[in-house]
Amino acid sequence: MFNLIKNENMKIYRRPRTWVMFGILIIIILLMSILLHVYELDNWGWVSPLQQYAEAQGLIYYENTFWSNAYQVAGLMSLVSIFTIVIAGDIVAAEFSWGTIKLLLIRPFHRSKVLLSKFIACIIFALFMLTTLFILSILINGILKGFDGFSASFLYMADNGEVVERSMMLQMLIYFALSFGELLMITSIGFMIGTIFRSSAMAIGISMFIMFTGSIISFFLLRYDWGKYSIFPNLELTQYRGGAALISNELSLGFSLAVLAVYFVVFNVLSWYIFSKRDVALS
Amino acid sequence: MTVETTAVLKNVSKQVGNRKIIDGLDLSVQKGEILGLLGPNGAGKTTTIRMMVGLISITEGDVSIHGKSITKQFEQAIQHVGAIVENPEMYKFLTGYQNLIHYARMSHGITKERINEVIQLVGLQNRIHDKVKKYSLGMRQRLGVAQALLHQPSLLILDEPTNGLDPAGIRELRDYLRQLVEKKGLSVIVSSHLLSEMELMCDRVAIIQEGKLIDVRHIKTNESVQQYIVEVDDVEKAKQAIEQLEQEMNLEMRKEHIVIDMEKEHVPAVVQTLVQHHIDIYSIIPATKTLEDQFLEVTGGKEIV
């Protein structure tokens, strides 16, 4: 099993496009950080209530430190999603279009093991990219602006109107974890479509469509009672990074996680079933 | 003498929708033989081969390799098998060596030495660290063979292995297969729709048509009764002379020669008689029935290719 994952990794990282993706990600992180640093938004001395609260408590508010820009640059998570979709949608479909699937499936490993190794390789890729994003956004913005205020606090208003305070480092980790959850779902979607249709283009296209039109579809679906059980309003887990979801007060992190867990199982069982049963090229 | 069987197909059928593509195929492959699957396009050769390696599910019946069922004990059964299914498709963005590493990781106990040995065997040592996209088709075919032999399988399955190969490449593959069978006692199954090629390559040929096994023929054995074409100056006289021999042989008169079905031992007697009767003999040619003739015979002259 470990060898299978090694193989999948070799097939991902020996391809130049993977490193092009990393290159693009790093360049955009750099550009965005520099732009944010140079054209720092002047808020005309307006101080938000949360900032006032922080100052009254004697806390370092994150918006006054490099964390502010780092937090914004970490929002490039959508770029990581796109790249993860490309990898996940392609990893099964490409074997079919290359014809290598025939040689891959006649080895002494059950198909479920082959599929699992591919899924794990996608997750490793997603994690690798996400880690790159978070470490670089902290590092670059820290270098640009200085690491003063490393122990700054993040504040948000909870449902009951109370202000919750946590360290910015913890907030970044929470953001990271939520992003990872989102990537896990996106990977499953791309993986499933790629497995069912054996077409990378289709998998990448449909997954991106779901990702980008998700919020529009959510608004529409949430008008119905059952809408909150659909995948769309729940997919964007990072909406919970600053407390409750803005889109609807019926949603909560726990609820979304539960809904997504069901979809996660359904998608992957479907991928597995179809991949295991499929006749390879009966024509 | 008992013959070891490497693989057995027992009443194998494949149904897609209402149509039976493969219908009750019974076949076995012996140790150390090259078995050809011959049939027109669409007869079910590729389907049969893909069922043998578990790429396609089997509707009815089973395939066993060294006594292990390909459906129920897939991992144990497939480890004895090396295969090239159609053109050897490799990862083009990897080098030949990386491709071999990839497949080596998927079998147990393949050492670096073994990989190098196989590379030497197929003669790719000079180009093995080049990307596969720079390979010619012949080189890819060799890499395909290397990949199939890596784990020292006892059954080699080749589906249309000569597609896209030039005559030299085909010959090379043929010699190579023969060598493997003789030296290592491998069993080989080859499918093709090219008759002449199968004739040169195989020990036995199974003829498949419309999903059914029509016939299994030995290629290399000389049948005792053979046809001889005897060219003489006077056909009528020759016929009378031969008929006096009172041997059981079938005569057929042509314009300038007689076609005789007889055993090899009778050839000298025939020649002697003809000479005694002062009949001039220009030539005696054994008319080997080509596989094509046999094929057309059993498939009822239906067009091939």
pLDDT tens-digit series, residues B150-164: 888 889 898 877 766
Query: pLDDT value at position B297?
Result: 62
pLDDT at A12: 93
Average pLDDT over residues A74-81: 91
Residue type, A24: I
Binning pLDDT at 50, 70 and 90, where does residue B1 land? Answer: very low
To test the contact with chain B by mutation, choose from A91, A107, A283 the residue with the greatest count of B C-beta atoms within 10 A, namely: A107
Size of interface A-B (CB pairs under 8 A): 80
Q: Examine the pLDDT at B2 and tell me if it is beyond 60.
A: no
Is residue A121 domain-resident?
Answer: yes
Tell me which DSSP letter residue B30 carries.
Answer: E
Count of structural domains within chain A: 1
**Category of B68 on φ-ψ map: left (φ > 0), alpha (ψ -120 to 50) or beta:** beta
Q: Quick one: pLDDT at residue B6?
A: 85
- Give A-chain residues touching B55 at CB under 8 angstroms: 102, 105-106, 279-281
Interface of A with B in 98-157 (CB under 8 A): 98-100, 102-110
Which CA distances in Å does A238 have to A35, A134, A178, A252? Answer: 24, 14, 5, 12
Arithmetic mean of pLDDT, B266-287 = 84
What pLDDT is stored for residue B231 in this prediction? Answer: 85
Contact residues on chain B for A99, CB-CB shorter than 8 A:
86-87, 89
Rounded-to-10 torsion of CA A208, A213, A215, A216: 180
Domains for chain B: give ranges and CATH numbers.
5-218 (3.40.50.300), 225-288 (3.30.70.100)
Mean pLDDT, range A181-209, rounded to an integer:
90
Task: List chain B residues with CB under 8 Å of A277.
Answer: 57
pLDDT for B171 beyond 60:
yes
Number of helices and strands (H, E) in chain B? 10, 14
A282 within some domain = no
Is the C-alpha dihedral spanning B108, B114, B116, B118 positive or negative?
negative
The winner for highest mean pLDDT among A45-54, A131-140, B17-26 is: A131-140
A32 falls within a domain: yes
- Residue A271 C-alpha, separation from nearest chain B C-alpha, in angstroms: 17
A16 CB neighbours in chain B (<8 A) are 93
Please list every residue in chain A whose beta carbon sits closer than 8 Å to the beta carbon of residue B81: 106
Q: B198-222 burial, b if ≥16 CB within 10 A, otherwise e? A: bbebbbbbbbbbbbebbeebebeee
* CB pair distance less than 8 Å for B83 and A106: yes
Tokens at residue B167, please? 């005559």
> Smallest Cα–Cα separation from A207: which of A97, A86, A75, A115?
A86
Whether complex ipTM tops 0.90: no
Considering A56-65, A78-87, B40-49, B113-122, the range whose residues carry the highest mean pLDDT is A78-87
Per-residue pLDDT at B288 exceeds 70: no
Q: Which residues are within 8 A (CB) of A123 and not within 5 positions of it... i.e. 6 or more apart?
A: A184, A187
Q: What is the mean pLDDT of residues B72-86?
A: 86
The answer to whether residue A160 sits within a structural domain is: yes
Q: How far is A13 from chain B (nearest CA, A)?
A: 10
Segment A100-116, tens digit of pLDDT: 898 899 899 999 999 99
Domain membership of residue A96 as a residue range: 2-277
- A283, part of any domain: no
What's the per-residue H, E or C state across A127-190?
Answer: HHHHHHHHHHHHHHHHHHHCCCCCCCEEEEECCCCCEEEEEHHHHHHHHHHHHHHHHHHHHHHH
